[in-house]
Structures are given as structure tokens and as C-alpha cells.
């Protein structure tokens, strides 16, 4: 691996023998270097059955994994996965179809009318995800999408965990029954959850910061706090760790949200500080927010009707 600066904080290691081995990396340069080192890969580089128990237990209550069908959302697949290019191209082509002026006006009206989060999330889900289904995504599915688990803190609360599992199953059943057979149901199911869980807050932040550059808003408040990887080599990460990682067992957490805030670099809001394997929705999101900011500035609250 490349030489490192010595001033940066070392990664934190959390180790509970036979249960958890976590390496938490917050330094932006360390994130970039470790990501490209070949010493870590995506979680599903290993068969699901062989992953640490806590990983399987946690992720099956999130929007990223479907344990019944053994499916993982695309960023959890190694670039070497045989279906990676096909799945990536499908999502990128669909997202590139963009949005309409009427989509922008709808969201601007809702924001100016102080509509609640559910109403905002429902309309944003339609704008982003109707393209995959060719029809409206029903209200109950958008409601379920609020409840997939979003943090370890939630996952340890039994009622939140069980609600997450139920919600995840309901969304996946809907996707399986309503998408074309060639479409990966979790790649789309995830997107409903992501829009519901991340976008309402992002829209309100935008409305509160109409004069601020979009990149400043969404590096200071990056919607995705972290991205996980798994060790594929028994490496000490060029001396950053006092003992080697265990391939297939040690999970590395990149704190990309913190890195985005520290660097003001939007490539940490949508990935690990580099263009490769960054979010395919980033361009859509940034353009939509910039256009919406313009519409909101032209359409003061008192003129809005809802």
C-alpha cells in the first residue's frame, strides 16, 4: 500500500472474540487508500452463508439485503461479480431518463406548503422509482420503506428489528410481483427505501439553504454516513492496525459522511472519495437539487398554492 501521513488518526478496532471484528476508518485519505489497496472488497465477495453472523443478522433487516432470496444491493457486490456490469448499466440507463419540470414544481409546491414527510417522500418515490415499475408505487409500500433498519442502534431494539424485517419482506414481495423478470428486485427495492429515508430530510435542508451551493449543503450533511467492506487479505493496512485483519471476517467501516464534511468533497457523499463505483444517482440528485433551489427561489412561500 502507498505511504501514509502520520498525522491522521488511526482506525478504531472493535473486537469481540468469535463475534465481531470491526475496523472503523474516518480519515479521508485512509479511506481512499484502503479502498484501492486490494485488501478489502464488498461484503458479498464472500458467500452470504460464510459472512459473520452479526453481518447476516443486521443486514437482513435493512434495505440492502434480502435473506429469503439471497440478494444484495449492487454496491455490496464485488466488481468481479458476473452480473455487475449488466445491473449497473440497467440502473444507470433508467436513472439517466431524468425528471420533468412538473416533478420539480410538485416538490416545490409541497415544500412551500410545509407538507409532511410522508407526502414529500411519496412524491419523491414516484419521481425516482415509477420508471422501474411503469406505474405508481402504492402508499403502503412507501410507508414500509420508512421502517427498514438504518443503524446498529436500531437493530438491537427487538421491535424495530422485527418491524425492519417485516418491512423489508413487504417491499421485496411488491418488487418481485411488479417488476419485469429481468430486473434485479433488490436493486429497485433499495431505491424506494433510500428515497423515503434520505430524501425528505435532504429536501428540507435544501429549502433552509436556498443561497448555499448544493455541494456545500450535501457535504456538510451527507445522507449516507458509512459504507462497509470486508477484508480479503490478512493485512495490517500498512501498519495502521496492530494485528492483521481476518479475511472474510473483519469488516471495515468507512465513515464517508464524516469524510465528506471534513473535505467538502462531494465524492465522499456518493462514494469513497473517487469516481469509480460512486453512486449512479449522484448526478440526478445534484441536478434535481440545483433546479429545485432555482424554482424555490422564484416561487416564494406566499405565492404557493397546494
Estimate to the nearest angstrom the gap between the alpha carbon of 157 and the chain centroid. 22
Degrees (nearest 5) of the Cα angle 73, 179, 69?
Answer: 45
- Tell me whether residue 129 or residue 235 sits nearer to ligand HEM (CB atom): 129
Paired strand residues for 71? 66
CB 299 within 8 A of CB 112: yes
Please identify, using beta-carbon distances, which residue of 108 and 270 lies nearer to ligand HEM: 270
Per CB under 6 A, 197 contacts ligand HEM: no
Note the residue count of the chain: 306
First to last CA, the chain: 56
Biggest distance spanned by C-alpha atoms of the chain:
62
Q: Which residues from 39-68 bind ligand HEM, rule CB under 6 A?
A: none
Q: Is 26 in the site for ligand HEM (CB under 6 A)?
A: no
Please select the residue that binds ligand HEM; options are 20, 48, 223, 248, rule is CB under 6 A: 223
Burial of 244 (0-12, 13-18, 19+ CB in 10 A): middle
| 271 binds ligand HEM, rule: CB under 6 A | yes
| CB atoms near residue 19 (< 10 Å) | 9
**Binding track over 107-136 against ligand HEM, x by CB under 6 A:** ---------------------x--------
Per rule CB under 6 A, is residue 91 in the interface with ligand HEM?
Answer: yes
Q: What is the DSSP string of 69-123?
A: TTEE-GGGS-TTSTTHHHHHHHHHHHHTT---HHHHHHHHHHHHTT--HHHHHHH
Using the contact rule CB under 6 A, the part of the chain among 21-29, 110-118, 271-279, 294-302 near ligand HEM is 271-279
DSSP calls for 276-292: TT--TTHHHHHHHHHHH
Nearer to ligand HEM, 75 or 185 (CB): 75
Among 115, 246, 279, 304, binds ligand HEM (CB under 6 A): 279
Q: Is 191 in the site for ligand HEM (CB under 6 A)?
A: yes
Number of residues that bind ligand HEM (CB under 6 A): 25
Of 64, 144, 270, 288, the residue at the interface with ligand HEM (CB under 6 A) is 270
| Helices 256-263 & 28-35 angle (0-180, nearest 10) | 130
Does position 285 bind ligand HEM by CB under 6 A?
A: yes
Whichever of 34 and 202 has its CB closer to ligand HEM, that residue is 202
In the set 55, 61, 74, 186, which binds ligand HEM (CB under 6 A)? 74
User: Binding to ligand HEM by residue 281, rule CB under 6 A?
Assistant: yes
- Shortest Cβ distance from residue 222 to ligand HEM (Å)? 7
Contact 23, 9 (CB under 8 A): no
Pairing verdict, β 251-254 and 20-25? parallel
Residue 96, C-alpha cell as written in the block? 439517466
Do 43 and 55 form a contact (C-beta atoms < 8 A)? Answer: yes
Q: How far is CA 184 from the centre of its chain?
A: 17
Using CB under 6 A as the binding rule, whether residue 88 contacts ligand HEM is answered as: yes
Stretch that binds ligand HEM, among 45-53, 118-126, 263-271, 290-298 (CB under 6 A): 263-271
Exactly one of 11, 28, 52, 75 binds ligand HEM (CB under 6 A); that residue is 75
Interaction site with ligand HEM (CB under 6 A): 74-75, 88, 91, 95, 128, 191, 194-195, 198-199, 202, 223-224, 227, 256, 269-272, 277, 279-281, 285
Amino acid at each position: 500500500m502507498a505511504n501514509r501521513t502520520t498525522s491522521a488518526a488511526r482506525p478504531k478496532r472493535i473486537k469481540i472474540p468469535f463475534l465481531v471484528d470491526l475496523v472503523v476508518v474516518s480519515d479521508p485519505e485512509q479511506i481512499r487508500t484502503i479502498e484501492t489497496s486490494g485488501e478489502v472488497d464488498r461484503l458479498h465477495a464472500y458467500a452470504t452463508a460464510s459472512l459473520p453472523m452479526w453481518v447476516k443478522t443486521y443486514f437482513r433487516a435493512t434495505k440492502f439485503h434480502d435473506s429469503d432470496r439471497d440478494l444484495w444491493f449492487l454496491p455490496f457486490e464485488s466488481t468481479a461479480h458476473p452480473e455487475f456490469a449488466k445491473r449497473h448499466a440497467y440502473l444507470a440507463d433508467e436513472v439517466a431518463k431524468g425528471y420533468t419540470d412538473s416533478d420539480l414544481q410538485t416538490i416545490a409546491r409541497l415544500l412551500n406548503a410545509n407538507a409532511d414527510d410522508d407526502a414529500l417522500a411519496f412524491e419523491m418515490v414516484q419521481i425516482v422509482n415509477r420508471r422501474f415499475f411503469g406505474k405508481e408505487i402504492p402508499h403502503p409500500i412507501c410507508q414500509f420503506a420508512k421502517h427498514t433498519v438504518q443503524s446498529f442502534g436500531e437493530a438491537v431494539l427487538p421491535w424495530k428489528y422485527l418491524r425492519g424485517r417485516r418491512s423489508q419482506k413487504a417491499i421485496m414481495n411488491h418488487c418481485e410481483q411488479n417488476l419485469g423478470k429481468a430486473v434485479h428486485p433488490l436493486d429497485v427495492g433499495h431505491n424506494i427505501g433510500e428515497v423515503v429515508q434520505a430524501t425528505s430530510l435532504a429536501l428540507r435542508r435544501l429549502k433552509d439553504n436556498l443561497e448555499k451551493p448544493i455541494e456545500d449543503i450535501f457535504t456538510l450533511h451527507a445522507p449516507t454516513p458509512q459504507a462497509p467492506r470486508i477484508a480479503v487479505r490478512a493485512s495490517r493496512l500498512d501498519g495502521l492496525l496492530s494485528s492483521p485483519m481476518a479475511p472474510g471476517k473483519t469488516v471495515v467501516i468507512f465513515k464517508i459522511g464524516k469524510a465528506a464534511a471534513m473535505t467538502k468533497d462531494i465524492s465522499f457523499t456518493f462514494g469513497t472519495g473517487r469516481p469509480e463505483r460512486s453512486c449512479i444517482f449522484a448526478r440526478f440528485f445534484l441536478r434535481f437539487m440545483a433546479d429545485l433551489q432555482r424554482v424555490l427561489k422564484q416561487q416564494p412561500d406566499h405565492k404557493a398554492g397546494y
